[in-house]
Structure 1
Amino acid sequence: MSSKFKLFLLIPVVLFFTTYRALAQDSSTLIKGTIVEKTNGQPIAFATVMIGDRSTEKPISGTTSLDDGSFSVETKSTNFFISISFIGFKTKTYEQPEAVNGTIDLGVVVLEEDAAQLEEVVVEGERSQTEFKLDKRVFNVGKDLSSTGASALDVLNNVPSVNVNIEGQISLRGSQGVQVLINGKPSIIASEEGNTLGTITADMIDRVEVITNPSAKYDAEGTAGIINIVIKKEEREGLNGSVSVNTGAPENNSVGISINRRTEKLNLFSQIGVGFRDLPNDIETRNQDLINNTTILTIGEQFRNENYYNFVLGADYYLSPDDVITLSGNFALELEDQPSTTNFTALDENQDISSQWVRSEATEATNPKFQYELQYKKDFDGDEDHSLLFSALGNFFGKDQSSEFLDTTISGQDNDATQRTRTDFKEAVFTFKLDYTLPISEKWNLETGTQYVMNDVSNDFEVNDLVDGVFVNDPGLTNIFEFDQKVLGFYGTGAYEGKKWGIKGGLRLEQTDLNTLLATTDESNDQNYTNLFPSAHTSYKFSERISLQAGYSRRIYRPRLWDLNPFFNIRNNFNIRQGNPELMPEFTDSYEVTSIFLIGKTSMNLGVYHRYTTDVIERVSFFENNVNTVRPINIGTNRSTGIEFNTKYSPAKWLTFNGDFNYSRFTRNGLFEDTSFDFEADRWTAKLMAKLKLPADIDFEATGNYRSRYQTVQGEISELAFLDLGMRKKLFKGRAVLNLSVRDAFASRINENEILQEEFSIYSRRLRGTFVAFGFSYGFGKGEAMEFTGQRRRF
C-alpha cells in the first residue's frame, strides 16, 4: 500500500475523532407544550418548534411535536424567541416568555388553518423555479416527475441548455468539455473515471447552476462552461429521516435509509443504502473497406449489472453561530458484472458471407470509492456575505477488473480465440481550496482565493492470449500508464451591483504541471504551462420584468486520463477507442448576451452567444483491415455562433409548460496529415415539458426532447427524439409518496453515427431502451418523503 494511500485513509480518521471532543455544558432552559388544531382540538404531530436568536433571527435549536402534539426542547441561549409552525397553518411566535424554575410551559398552543398558504403549497410549492444571477442561471429542481427516482444525469437532461447523450456524456449548448462540480467542488462522483453521477438521484438535488461564462472565481477548466450540482443540506432541527423502496425494469431495485439529528451545536447525518441495477445496451456497427469492398458487421447486446452499497457519516459542529466545522466521509462499493455477446459477420468483395463468429465476454469488477471532506466556514459579524471558507477534499477510486473473451467460429474462416485482460486502476485526487468574500458596501463586493488540485493515477493493464493451451502475454497491449497532474490557481474578482446595473470583473492565474509515463516502455510526456483567464460580466435591469446580461470568459479543457492513455478497450476488437499521450489542451474565448422577460404568466430567456476554440480536440477514426480505431487529435479551430430560447408558461393553475430551443452554426478549420477538416454546419435542439395537476392529488408530467442531425469532422450524427413520463400520488398529507416514471417511453432514443470517407465508411447504432421505475418513500420526524439517493448528504 503506497504512502499516499495510507495518508489518505489516516487523515479522515484523525480529523473525525478530533471533532468529537466532549464539551462542558452550560445551564439551559426547558420549553414545553402541546400543539392542537383550532377547528377540532386534534393534536398536531410533527409540527416545527424553532428557537431563534432575537438579535440575528437565526435558528439556534428546535424539535418536532410527537403524535399527541406534545413537545419539549432545551436551549442555553438567554436572548431568544419561540416560533411554532406547520404546513397549512398560521405560524405562532412567542417573544421569550418568563421561565419558572428553568422551565417555560406554553400549555396548549392552538394553530389556525391558513387557506392562502394551503393554496400556495398546492399550486406553487412544487414548481421548478429559475433564477438569474450576475454570472449564472440557477434551476431549482423542485418536483419534476419525469426525474422522480432518476439519476442526476436525467435531471440534467431536463435543464435548459444541457443535453446528456445515451452514453452519459454531458454537453452544454451542444458542446462537450463541460466541468461538472458537486457543491462547487470537483468530485470523483462527477468525473469520467468515476462515472457515478447515476448514484445521485433527483430527490437529493437542491438546484443546478448553469454557468456558461464562469467568472474568474471558478476553475478555468471546461470550455463549454460549468454545471454545479448543489446537494440539499439538512438544516431542519431535531430528528429527521426518510425510508424509501424502489423497483424498476430493466431491473433496478434499491432500499435506503437517511437520518439527520441536529442540536444547537452539533448536526449528525448518516445514510445507508443498497441496490442492484441492470443496464442493457444494444449495439450495431458496420465497417466497410471501400477499396477492397470488404465489410465487418457487428450486432451485440451488452450489460452492466451492478450491486452497490453506500454508507455516509458526517457532522457539522458549530463553534459559534458564525463558525462551523464540517467533517464527512463516504464509502461506496460497486460490484460489476458485464456479460456481453457480439455476433460478427465478414463479407467478401462480392458482399457474400465469408465467415461468422461469436465473441462472448465475462467481466467482473470491484470498484471501491472513498471520499472525505474537512470544511471550515466563518461568517464575520453574522454576515453570510462576508465569509472565509476553507475545504480539503480527498477522493479515491479503484477498479480491480478481470475479463475473459471467447471467440467461437460459426462458419467459414477459423476465428476461434481466447483472451484475458486484467485492469488494476487507482486514482487519488486531493483538492485544497480557500475563498474569501468581502462586501465593501451594500453594492461593492470583492472575492479572492486559491486552489491546489493534485491528481495521481495508475492504470495497470494486461492482455494475455491463449496459445497452445497456455496464456501468453501480449507485450504490445500490456503496460502501466501513470498520470500525475497538479494545478495551482489564484483568483481575484470585484463586483458592483446596484438596483438596476451591475458589473463584475476578474482574473485567474493557473499553473499546470502534467506528467504521463508508460512505465514498461519508459515513454514519458511532460507538459508545464501557465495561463491567465480573464472574465467580465454585466447586467442591467430595465424594469421588474425585463433584464439584460452580458459576459465574457476564457476557458481551458485539459485532456483527461482516458484522452491520453494509449491503451484501449478490446471488448469489440474491430471498433477500438484509444488515447493520445501527445494531446494538448484546447482554449476557448466565450461571449454571450442574454435577455430575460417576464410577461404576465410567462417568463422568457433569449440569448445569443459566440465561442472561438483553438487546438480543438476531435475524435478521429483511423481505418485499417476493417478495424476502426478512434483516437483524439488536436485539429485546428472552431467558431460557433448560436441563439438560445427558454420559456415557461402557466395558462392555468393545473397546467404548466416549459420550453427550450437552441440553434448554433459552427465553422471548423483544420488540417491533419495532409487531410483538410474544413466545413460549415449547424445543429439545433428542442425540449418541451407539460405538467398537469389531476384530481385525487395526482400529478402528471411529460417531457419531449429532440436533437437535429448534425455534421462531424468525418461524418454525421443522426437526429433523435424521445419522451419521458412521470406520475405521482401523495399520501398522508405528503409525508408518503408513490411515484411512477417512464424514461424513453417509445424506445426512440437511438444514437446513430455514420462516417463516410473516400477509403472507408463506418455506421454505428446504440439503443438502451425504455426504463420504468416505481417507488414508495416515507419521511419521519421532520423528514420529507424522498427517493433513495445513494449518497444523501455530502460528496
Structure 2
Amino acid sequence: MNQTEIIHLFTKKTLGLTFVLSAAALAFAQDKVGISGSIVNKDNMPVPYASVTFSNKANKLFSDATLTDEKGQYKLDLAPGNYDITVEAIDYKKSLVNKQITSAGNIGALSIEPEKSTTNLKTQDIQGVVITAQATKPYKVELDKKTYDPSQDIVSKGGNLQDVLTNVPSVSVDTDGTVSMRGNSNVKFLINGKPSSLLGIDDGANALQSIPADQIERVEVITNPSSKFEASGTAGILNIILKKDKKMGFNGSVTGSVGYLPRTNLNANLNWRKGNWTWHVNGGGGYQKNESTSKNSTIQKFTDINSIPLNSFPYTQTSIQDGKTKREGDNYNLTAGFTHDISDKTSVNLSGMLRSFNNDQNALNIYDEIEYRTVMGADPNDPNSTIEIGPRTSEKLSRTRNSVGNNKNFATQLDFGLDQKIGDNGQVVYISGSYQTNKSDGTNVIRQNSYNITKNLTEKNLINNVDTHSQTKTFIGKADYELPIGDNSKFEAGARYDYNKNTYNYFVNESNGGSPYYTRYDFTSNTVYSESILGIYAQFKSKIGEKFAYQLGLRSETSSININFDYNKLIEGTQDSYEPKHETVKKNYTQFFPSVFLSYDLGNKDQLLLNYSRRINRPRAFSLIPFMSFDDDRNYFQGNSDLNPTYENSFELGYSISNKKITFNPTLYFKKSQDEQNRYQYLLNGSIYTKPVNVGSETNYGLDLNGTYDPFSWWKMMLSADLYGYKNTGSFNLFPENPNTRNDFSGTGFSYRLRFNNTFKIDKTFSVQLQSFYRAGEKTAMNDRKAMYGIDLGASKTIWNGNGTIGFNIRDIFNTRRMRNFSNTEQFTRNMEMQWQPRQFALSFTYRFKQGEKIDIKPKPKKDINSNTKGEDDQQGPM
C-alpha cells in the first residue's frame, strides 16, 4: 500500500469523527483571561497546596478550581464575571470571598485563618483535598493488587490494549494475542471492575486490539484475588480501568496515529464537570492491516499398520505446510456517561457503551506432502482389524487451501450504579447493574485443491461455505455493604448475580468440483448455552497494633449450566445418510472460596505480605460445545460437554520495598490444581484433532520479581522477572481399544521470563524508551515451546507548553517475535512456527484541551488498611 492509499484510508476512516470531536470542543470554548494570586496566613506567610475554587455566580459552566504551588501562588484562566472564591487547606478554616473578574492580572493575596486547635484532631477526620497527579512510578504494590500506569509507556502510544499488556509486570502476551499471568492463560478480564462486552465472545486478539491505549487509565494486576472478587480465573484478574477525569470544567484530549503495516486511529477522551454533575465521553475508531505467517511440519508415526482400526485412514504421511494470513478491518467504540451527586450521601451514575469491528481475512496455506500408502483389507473374522494385501508405495501430493472470509461484531453495554451513605459513621451501600449484548457474524469460503504429483492428476477439488453466528446476552447485578468499625477495622459483605445466555449456530455447505451442493450435517450445529452464578461474600479487615494487618474472607458461589445442542449426525456405515441428534447437558454445583491476606509493616515503607485463596476455572462456553471447527482440515478443535471445572489453591509470600529511587517487590508463589483442563490431541483420518479433557494435575511454583530503579533524574528503569518451576502430568485415551491414540501428559521443568524497560529523559520535553523481553523455552504437557525475545523502541516529544505530544514507536525492531512449538505424541510429531504480526511502527499526536491538577474537594476518608474505599470489584479509591 503506497503513501497515497494510506492517507486516503486515514481520511476516510477518521475525518468524520474529527469533525464531531472538534465541534464538541468548540461548543465549550469561551474567551478567558489569565489571572493569578496567592494564599497567605495571618502572618502573611504563603500557604502551599491550598484549594482555590472559583464559582461563577451567573453561569456554573465557567466555574473552575486550582491548587497553590509550594510558594502559595496560583494561576488559571477564567471567563470574566462575578465569582465566589472558596479557599480550603488542611489545618485552616474554610474562607469564602467574592470578587469581580474583569481583565487579566493579579487579584492579590487572600488570607485564611488557622483552626483554633489542632492538637485533638485526627488527621483522617480532617476535611481536605484529594490530589490526583501523574504517578512518578508506573508500577506500585498494594495489599491485594499491583497497579500499572500506562501513561508513561511511550512504546504503546497510539496502540491498543494488547500493546499495553505486553509491558505490564507479571503479564505475558503471545504472538497470537493469548494473555497469560505467570504462564497461566486462565485470566479473568474486567473492565472498570465488571465483565464487559468490550471483550466480546471468544474474540481473542481482535477484542484486545479494539480498545485504544489512550483510553486506559491503569491496569490492576490481581494475582491472588480476595473473596470480594468473583472466584473464576485461576491465573488471576486483569482489571482495565478506563479514563474518567475529575478535573473541574471542560477538559479532554484527542489522539491520532498512523503507522505501518497500515494502521490509523483517532480517539478522544472528553470530560466535563459542572457542580454536582460529571460527564465523560470516550470514543474513537481506526483501521488496521495485519499479516501473519505460519509453518508446520507434521510426521505421522504408524509403526504397525495392522494396529489401525478400519475407521482410520490407511496410510502414513509427512506434511510440510506454509501459510500466510492477511487481515484488515476497522473498529469503532463509544462510551458515554455521567455521575450525579444528589446529596452529600447519595450519588448515581449511568453509562453506555457501543463497540463494533469488521474484519476481512484471506488465508492461503500450501502443503507439500508425501503419503506412504498400503493397499488394505479387512480380516473377515475380525471387523476391527486390517490386513496388508498389497505393496507399500509412496506418493507425493501438493495441496492448496485458500480461506476468504469476513467477521462482523457489534456489542452494547448499559451500566447503572447507586452509592448511598448511611448515617455518619462511614456505612455505605453500593448497588449496580449491567446489561450487555454481543453479536458476531462470520462468513468464510474455503477452496481446497489436491494434486497428485506422482500420478499427475487432480485428486480433490472442494469448495466449502462456512457460516457462523453467535450472540450473547448478559446481566450482572451487585450489592455491596461496608461498615467501618473504629479507625482500623471494616466489615464488608455483598452479593452478585451473573446470567449469561450464548447462542451459537454453525453451518457448512460443501461441493466437490462442479457437482451440486450437498450439506455436511456432521459439521452443522445449533447450540444454546446458558449459565447463572450466584455469589455471596463476607470479609473482615483489621489491624493488631500498628504493624500487623489482616483480612479474612469467605465467598460462596452456586453455578447452574444448561447446554442444548442440536445437530445432524452421519449414520455409521453410510456416506450421505444423516439422522438428527439432540444433546442436553445440565451442571449444578456450589463451592466455597476462602481467602486470607496478612501484612506486616517493617518500617520505612517496607512490607511483608502473605495471602491465600481458592479459585475456580470454569470451562469457557466454546470448550463445552461439541461442534467441530472447520477452518483447517488438518487441524480440528472439538468441544467437550463433559468438561468440569478445575479448582486451585494459591499461596503467595511477598515483600515490598519502596523509597525515593527504588521499589522492589519479590513474591514467592505456589499453586496446585486437580482435574486440570488439558487439550488432548489425537490423529484420525490424516488430521489432528484437539479436544479439552479433565485429566492430570498441575503444580506451579516460582519467584515473581518486579521493581523500578531511578539511578538519575533522567533515567528510569523497570524490571520484571518470573522464575518458575512447573509439573503437569496425566494420561488419557479417547479410544481405549487403540493404544496408538493414547496421550501421556508429562511436562516438568524450570523456566523464566524477563522484561526490562529503560526510559531516558533527554530534556524536559523529550523522552526515549527502550523495552526488551526474553521468554525462555518450556516443555508443557503437550508442547515443547522454544525461547522467544523482542525489542521495542519509543520516543515522545511534548510541544505547545504541554498541550501537545508527538510520539513515535517501533515494535519488534529485529522482527524476532515468533512462537515456535514442538509436539511429540504416540501418533505424530509436529514442528510449528507462527508470527502473528511483523515489525510495525507508528507515529501519533495527542492534543490536550486543558491542563492542571486533578482535584476533587471531598471529606478525606478514614485510613483503610486495605487502601480501598469502594465497594465495587475494582476496589479503587483514594489512598
TM-score range, shorter chain: 0.7 to 0.9
From 576, 583, 586, the equivalent of 1:526 is 586
Provide the residue aligned with 1:775 in structure 2: 844
Provide the residue aligned with 1:25 in structure 2: none
How far is 1:366 from its partner? 2.0
CA distance in 2, matches of 1:782, 1:650: 26
Cα gap change, 1:704/1:109 in structure 2, threshold over 3 Å: closer, same or farther? same
Deviations 1:468-524 (A, max 9, x none): 443221110001011100000000000014631100000000000011121232111
From 142, 145, 154, the equivalent of 1:145 is 154
Please say if residues 269 and 314 of structure 1, whose CA atoms lie closer than 8 Å, have aligned partners that are also in contact: yes
CA distance in 2, matches of 1:675, 1:242: 55
Provide the residue aligned with 1:63 in structure 2: 64
How far is 1:755 from its partner? 0.5
CA distance in 2, matches of 1:326, 1:251: 38
Provide the residue aligned with 2:344 in structure 1: 321
Provide the residue aligned with 2:656 in structure 1: 596
Deviations 1:193-232 (A, max 9, x none): 2441222233322222222211110000011111212222
Cα gap change, 1:661/1:52 in structure 2, threshold over 3 Å: closer, same or farther? farther
Deviations 1:403-435 (A, max 9, x none): 111123455342211000111111111111111
Please say if residues 149 and 219 of structure 2, whose CA atoms lie closer than 8 Å, have aligned partners that are also in contact: yes
1:372 matched to 2:414? The reply is yes
CA distance in 2, matches of 1:604, 1:619: 37
How far is 1:625 from its partner? 3.3
Deviations 1:545-599 (A, max 9, x none): 4210000000001000111122233222112222211111000000110011236
Cα gap change, 1:728/1:98 in structure 2, threshold over 3 Å: closer, same or farther? closer
Equivalent residue pairs, number:
713
Provide the residue aligned with 1:311 in structure 2: 334
Provide the residue aligned with 2:442 in structure 1: 401
Provide the residue aligned with 1:415 in structure 2: 460
Cα gap change, 1:250/1:529 in structure 2, threshold over 3 Å: closer, same or farther? same
1:219 matched to 2:230? The reply is yes
CA distance in 2, matches of 1:679, 1:406: 38
Partner amino acid, structure 2, of 1:367? N
Alignment of 1:496-515 (within 5 A): 496-497=542-543, 499-515=546-562
Provide the residue aligned with 1:725 in structure 2: 793
Mean Cα displacement is larger for which, 279-288 or 212-221?
279-288
Provide the residue aligned with 1:108 in structure 2: 105
1:476 matched to 2:511? The reply is no
Mean Cα displacement is larger for which, 374-383 or 577-586?
374-383
SS at match of 2:342: strand
Mean Cα displacement is larger for which, 356-365 or 479-488?
356-365
Provide the residue aligned with 1:492 in structure 2: 538
Cα gap change, 1:690/1:757 in structure 2, threshold over 3 Å: closer, same or farther? same
Partner amino acid, structure 2, of 1:762? R
Please say if residues 63 and 73 of structure 1, whose CA atoms lie closer than 8 Å, have aligned partners that are also in contact: no
Partner amino acid, structure 2, of 1:553? S
Deviations 1:341-367 (A, max 9, x none): 111221134997711122111112221
CA distance in 2, matches of 1:557, 1:569: 23
CA distance in 2, matches of 1:126, 1:438: 30
1:335 matched to 2:358? The reply is yes
Provide the residue aligned with 2:280 in structure 1: 269
CA distance in 1, matches of 2:142, 2:537: 20
1:163 matched to 2:231? The reply is no
CA distance in 2, matches of 1:670, 1:495: 40
Please say if residues 273 and 311 of structure 1, whose CA atoms lie closer than 8 Å, have aligned partners that are also in contact: yes
Provide the residue aligned with 2:318 in structure 1: 295
Provide the residue aligned with 1:135 in structure 2: 144
SS at match of 1:154: helix
Please say if residues 728 and 780 of structure 2, whose CA atoms lie closer than 8 Å, have aligned partners that are also in contact: no
Partner amino acid, structure 1, of 2:501? D
Deviations 1:114-137 (A, max 9, x none): xxxxxxxxxx95643433322222
From 261, 275, 296, the equivalent of 1:285 is 296
How far is 1:34 from its partner? 4.6
Partner amino acid, structure 1, of 2:183? G
How far is 1:311 from its partner? 2.8
CA distance in 2, matches of 1:461, 1:630: 18
Partner amino acid, structure 2, of 1:50? T
Please say if residues 419 and 431 of structure 2, whose CA atoms lie closer than 8 Å, have aligned partners that are also in contact: yes
Partner amino acid, structure 1, of 2:674? T
Partner amino acid, structure 1, of 2:517? F
Partner amino acid, structure 1, of 2:407? A
1:734 matched to 2:802? The reply is yes
Partner amino acid, structure 1, of 2:443? S
Please say if residues 497 and 533 of structure 2, whose CA atoms lie closer than 8 Å, have aligned partners that are also in contact: yes
Partner amino acid, structure 2, of 1:137? K
1:390 matched to 2:390? The reply is no
Deviations 1:89-137 (A, max 9, x none): xxx99921147xxx6879833699xxxxxxxxxxx95643433322222
Please say if residues 158 and 265 of structure 2, whose CA atoms lie closer than 8 Å, have aligned partners that are also in contact: no
Q: TM-score, structure 1 length as denominator?
A: 0.84
How far is 1:375 from its partner? 1.2
1:348 matched to 2:371? The reply is yes
SS at match of 1:563: helix
Alignment of 1:588-627 (within 5 A): 588-598=648-658, 601-627=661-687
| Structure 1 residue ranges without an equivalent (≥5) | 1-31, 39-47, 54-58, 85-91, 113-123, 785-795
SS at match of 1:189: helix
Partner amino acid, structure 2, of 1:483? Y
| Structure 2 residue ranges without an equivalent (≥5) | 1-31, 39-50, 67-74, 110-132, 303-314, 373-391, 568-580, 734-741, 854-879
How far is 1:140 from its partner? 2.8
Please say if residues 131 and 139 of structure 1, whose CA atoms lie closer than 8 Å, have aligned partners that are also in contact: yes
From 163, 182, 189, the equivalent of 2:191 is 182
SS at match of 1:223: coil
Please say if residues 80 and 101 of structure 2, whose CA atoms lie closer than 8 Å, have aligned partners that are also in contact: no
SS at match of 1:733: helix
Partner amino acid, structure 1, of 2:63? G
Deviations 1:439-459 (A, max 9, x none): 112100111100000010001
Provide the residue aligned with 1:793 in structure 2: none
CA distance in 2, matches of 1:380, 1:204: 34
Deviations 1:673-693 (A, max 9, x none): 365424522221111111101
Cα gap change, 1:351/1:237 in structure 2, threshold over 3 Å: closer, same or farther? farther
CA distance in 1, matches of 2:208, 2:93: 43
Please say if residues 601 and 608 of structure 2, whose CA atoms lie closer than 8 Å, have aligned partners that are also in contact: yes
How far is 1:183 from its partner? 1.2
Partner amino acid, structure 1, of 2:153? D
Cα gap change, 1:293/1:783 in structure 2, threshold over 3 Å: closer, same or farther? farther
Cα gap change, 1:37/1:415 in structure 2, threshold over 3 Å: closer, same or farther? farther
Identity fraction in percent:
25
Provide the residue aligned with 2:644 in structure 1: 584
Partner amino acid, structure 2, of 1:727? A
Mean Cα displacement is larger for which, 474-483 or 293-302?
293-302
SS at match of 1:145: coil
SS at match of 2:522: helix
CA distance in 2, matches of 1:63, 1:393: 33
Partner amino acid, structure 2, of 1:436? Y
Mean Cα displacement is larger for which, 323-332 or 667-676?
667-676
From 502, 505, 516, the equivalent of 1:457 is 502
